[in-house]
Amino acid sequence: MSDLLERLRARGWRMTSQRRVVAEVLDGDHVHLTADEVHARAVARLPEISRATVYNALGELVSLGEVIEVSTDGRAKRYDPNAHRPHQHLVCSRCGTIRDVHPAGDPLTDLPAEQRFGFTVSAVEVTYRGLCPGCA
């Protein structure tokens, strides 16, 4: 069904019912679930799936570049399946809602050479914080 499952199979990812469920749970836009939330939704479809398996599958999806790990609050990491289009996050400070945003321009070039301290900069994470319409 989903491209994600197709891509994973094509890359030789051994398919199990557990992995399929985890990948399916992560399908969609503006999805930013914690590992426990993924586990809870997976259990709804496959009651005996364990936490360790969910953590394993998430870790592999991240390694494969199919899912991005996001830590917006210093608590649980969240998993974002929108990995194929560079984007940033807009987070509500009250309720924690997260939206993906796509600003113009490349934030990487915003850091002038004299501010790089000799670092080789290869990525930028940007998090916009504020209140969502429901919490304002």
Partner DNA sequence: TCTTGACTTGGACTCTGTCCATCGTAGGAT
Partner DNA sequence: ATCCTACGATGGACAGAGTCCAAGTCAAGA
Residues in the site for DNA, rule: CB under 7 A?
A: 9, 13-19, 34-36, 46, 48-53, 55-57, 59, 74-77
Let me know if 28 is exposed, middle or buried by CB neighbors in 10 A (0-12, 13-18, 19+).
exposed
Question: At its nearest, how many Å lie between a copy of itself and the CB of residue 27?
Answer: 21
**Per CB under 8 A, does 29 bind a copy of itself?**
no
Sign of the dihedral defined by the CA atoms of residues 14, 17, 18, 21, in that order: positive
Pick one of DNA, a copy of itself, none as the site partner of residue 19 (Cβ within 5 to 8 A by kind).
Answer: DNA
Alpha helix (H) ranges present in 46-96? 51-63
Distances (CA, A) of 8 to 43, 53, 61, 127: 22, 17, 9, 29
For residue 66, the 8-state DSSP code is S
**Per CB under 8 A, does 95 bind a copy of itself?**
no
Can you read off the two tokens belonging to residue 61? 């999806």
Pick one of DNA, a copy of itself, none as the site partner of residue 53 (Cβ within 5 to 8 A by kind).
Answer: DNA
Q: Which is nearer to DNA, 2 or 56 (CB)?
A: 56
Half-sphere exposure of 6 (CA within 13 A, CB side): 3
Question: At its nearest, how many Å lie between a copy of itself and the CB of residue 9?
Answer: 29
Q: Which is nearer to DNA, 9 or 30 (CB)?
A: 9
Contact residues for a copy of itself, defined by CB under 8 A: 69, 71, 73-74, 77, 90, 92-93, 99, 101-105, 107-108, 110-112, 115-133, 136
